[in-house]
Chain A
Amino acid sequence: MEHVAVNPWVALAYLVAGVCFILALRGLSSPATSQRGNRFGMIGMGVAVVTTLVTHVPLTATLIEGEDYAALIARVDYAAAFEIVAAIALGAVIGVGVARRIAMTAMPQLVAAFHSLVGLAAVLVAAAAFLNPVAFGIAVPVLFPDGSAVALINPVSRVEMGLGVAIGAITFSGSVIAFLKLNGTMGGKPILLPARHAINLGVLAAILLLVAYFTVDQSPWVFWTVTLLSFAIGFLLIVPIGGADMPVVVSMLNSYSGWAAAAMGFTLHNSAMIITGALVGSSGAILSYIMCRAMNRSFVSVIAGGFGAEAAGGAGGAAASDRAWKRGSAEDAAFLMGQAEQVIIVPGYGMAVAQAQHALREMADKLKAHGVRVKYAIHPVAGRMPGHMNVLLAEANVPYDEVFELEDINSEFAQTDVAFVIGANDVTNPAAKTDRSSPIYGMPVLDVEKAKTVLFIKRSMGGVGYAGVDNEVFYRDNTMMLLADAKKMVEEIVKSLD
């Protein structure tokens, strides 16, 4: 079954859009070229949208009857065209408004919310294609002898449509849960249902079987059951996953939103959508992989969920709090850092929660004025999404050439006077290197304990990190604990530095 012949210029325009999207991602290889890359992305989107608008002008057929003739004339349906432009404008106003106002610390929630919109849009497009397949050029009208007509959808298109709606629905409901967890509306703790693995596998199998069955029976109930089951599985998959595993979840949903776009691209035979879907799909998959590697956990174990819940239950009773530790004050910290040659700052999610990034940069400026070299060390899973810490530091005007990744700076701690840990915990735990029984064993960590002095900002000694394990660094001779809210403590240090 052949599609309607496509104008080669139209196909070329979509190809140009696809290439622009590749250049958009290519630009992100360095901050210097990134803004140009983003403009390529906008141009690509503009080309794709304008091409579609021009080739799909809404038409109405008007019957013109003269004395001796009758003709059907296609006219532009201005009302329908207006509705489309209004829909785009409405989206633009909402989108730009949100993007201008959102706080940088709320970026993980925003990205999750945006993913849910892509997912829902994919579901709606698939449903629209199912209801009006002839408009999408994926069906042939079949006339029955009794006079009734049915648009018979191509079997291949049915599979693509079924997969598209399933991935879109999973992206939607999964992202909504991720949004609620990141936003704090829903507790970050994993919620564990009994027999959840059996239920999840059963639902997934049912979805795949129904998509297969869809090729022989295009009844509406098959389509809608696939949609509903997919909404359910997206919900069930994300609910048991805890807060600090969110970087993996957000990356995974990013990947899904791409695969959903690609599936719809297959349905519409549109190269821009297919290229974009493949780019976004692989981007999210690579980010998930990087995040998993940074936690030394397999993708399957993250998706299976429940991390932290068991560990916290087991380790919570262990009496580690009896051990001796040193407490320092803001003045002590200011004195130590003011004398130092080099200070490495290790930020974590706690810095984002306390909104301490601006105060932190002020502290770094003061230290630099004292002739201290200041660097920042970022662990890949610090924060709630990939690159979260980098954005917050950039927001606080920290130059990006002072910010280093784990593998680039880890060897420097041994020659560093002060490691300043603010709001991070598990990513500095030396047990990951030595203690085989530790739940985080094998995870790459920042070697803060090798610095001459470790200053560790923490709210209280009671709480443990996400993994539920005690941190050996607290009790070392060269560690000084600064117990306070991260922002207040940094502000006090700034005052003491004067």
Chain B
Amino acid sequence: MDFVAILSIFVLACFVGYYVVWSVTPALHTPLMAVTNAISSVIIVGALIAGAAAGSTGSKWLGLAAVVLASVNIFGGFAVTQRMLAMYKKKERPAPRP
């Protein structure tokens, strides 16, 4: 892919992001931050490439360290988002009364 093709994807994705995020209900802004944080850890792709490449020991260990950090974020981010979203309930639950 040449630079202009990549730039096109980027610019269009910015517009998609703009409209999608404005449609997020304010009540879910905290889960939004948690999940965007999890998906921005897609940077793990770069870390995996570095960790798997031969040729430079320094680069490989930097890559592996980045894999650990990004992995904490991916698993932690999705898990905590799931935990939060599961709490949002609509109907009145019969309150446990003594």
Binding site for B on A (CB under 8 A): 3, 6, 11, 14, 17-18, 21-22, 24-26, 28-32, 34-35, 37-38, 41-42, 44-45, 48-49, 52-53, 56-61, 77, 80-81, 83-84, 87-92, 94-96, 98-100, 102, 104, 107, 110-111, 114-115, 117-118, 120-122, 124-125, 127-129, 131-132, 134-136, 156, 250-251, 254, 257-258, 260-262, 264-284, 286-287, 290, 365, 378, 380, 385-388, 390-391, 394-395, 397, 399-401, 403, 405
Contact = CB atoms under 8 A, between A and B. Distances in A.
A45 B50 contact: no
Interface string B39-61: 11111111111111111101110
A117 B10 contact: no
Contacts of B92: 399
A58 to B, nearest CB: 4
A3 B74 contact: no
Q: Which 10 A-B pairs have the closest CB atoms?
A: A91-B71, A95-B76, A387-B29, A135-B53, A95-B75, A282-B17, A278-B13, A132-B59, A128-B50, A386-B29
Contact of A41 (B33, B35, B45, B72): B35
Interface string B68-98: 1111111111111111111111111101000
Contacts of B49: 52, 56, 135-136, 268
B74 to A, nearest CB: 6
A275 B13 contact: yes
A264 B87 CA distance: 35
B40 A269 contact: no
A254 B45 contact: no
14 contacts: A28-B24, A45-B38, A49-B44, A56-B52, A94-B76, A96-B76, A99-B77, A125-B62, A131-B56, A135-B56, A257-B40, A283-B21, A284-B33, A399-B91
A283 B16 CA distance: 10
B29 A87 contact: no
Contact of A22 (B3, B20, B37): B20
B75 A99 contact: yes
Interface residues of B, number: 84
Contact of B90 (A24, A32, A365, A378): A32
A122 B37 CA distance: 13
Contact of A260 (B43, B64, B65, B74): B43
Contact of A122 (B35, B43, B54): B43
B13 A279 contact: yes
Contacts of A81: 52
Contacts of B88: 31, 34, 394, 400
Task: Identify the interface centre among A121, A388, A399, A401: most chain B CB within 10 Å of its CB.
Answer: A121
A286 B18 contact: yes
Nearest to A37: B35
A98 B76 contact: yes
The interface residues of chain B, by DSSP majority, are classed as helix
Contacts of B3: 156
Contact of B62 (A60, A127, A274): A127
A49 B14 CA distance: 23
B90 A278 contact: no
B53 A132 contact: yes
A283 B73 CA distance: 18
A3 B48 CA distance: 18
A475 B3 CA distance: 63
Nearest to B75: A95
A82 to B, nearest CB: 11
Nearest to B79: A99
Given A91-B70, A135-B55, A397-B93, A49 B45 contact: yes
Contacts of B93: 397
A34 B93 CA distance: 20
Given A121-B70, A135-B56, A401 B90 contact: yes
Contact of A96 (B9, B45, B79): B79
Nearest to A137: B49
A264 B21 CA distance: 22
A25 B4 CA distance: 26
Contacts of B81: 38, 41
